Amino acid sequence: MEEKRYGFAGIFVEREKGSVKQIQDVLSDYSACILGRMGLPHIGNDNLSIITLILYATTDEIGSLTGKLGSLPGVTVKSGISKNKS
């Protein structure tokens, strides 16, 4: 079985694209992997939101989570995973 690692994901959401509900659904599906979540709901012209996640999961789980989020309209995801396995 693959070992878990710590990681993070930065999620940029263009609110006008209407993916907010789908984002919440994906995050709920992966709630067991999310240690912490911080969000800035309105940046600049109120069209951009940013969500930061602290994760503890396998690399496959992190890849699946970020892949599903990144495939949504108006959503961009950047992530990183620790080198050390826990």
CATH assignment at residue 55: 3.30.70.1150
Q: Which residue has better confidence, 47 or 62?
A: 62
Residue 31 resides in a domain = yes
Residue 86 resides in a domain = no
Token digits of residue 49 = 């939101």
The torsion angles phi and psi of 66, rounded to 5 degrees, stand at -70, -35
Average of pLDDT values for 14-19?
Answer: 79
Q: What gap in Å lies between CA 72 and CA 69, rounded to an integer?
A: 6
Q: How far is CA 34 from CA 16, 47, 60, 67, in A?
A: 26, 25, 14, 15
pTM over 0.85: yes
Q: Which domain holds residue 31?
A: 5-81
Count of domains in the chain?
1
Residue 41 resides in a domain = yes
Average pLDDT, the chain: 92
Residue 63 resides in a domain = yes
- Residue 58 CB contacts under 8 Å (≥ 6 apart), including other chains: 2, 3, 4, 5
Residue 29 resides in a domain = yes
What was the pLDDT predicted at 1? 74
pLDDT 10s digits, 18-52: 788 999 999 999 999 999 999 998 877 778 999 99
Residue 12 resides in a domain = yes
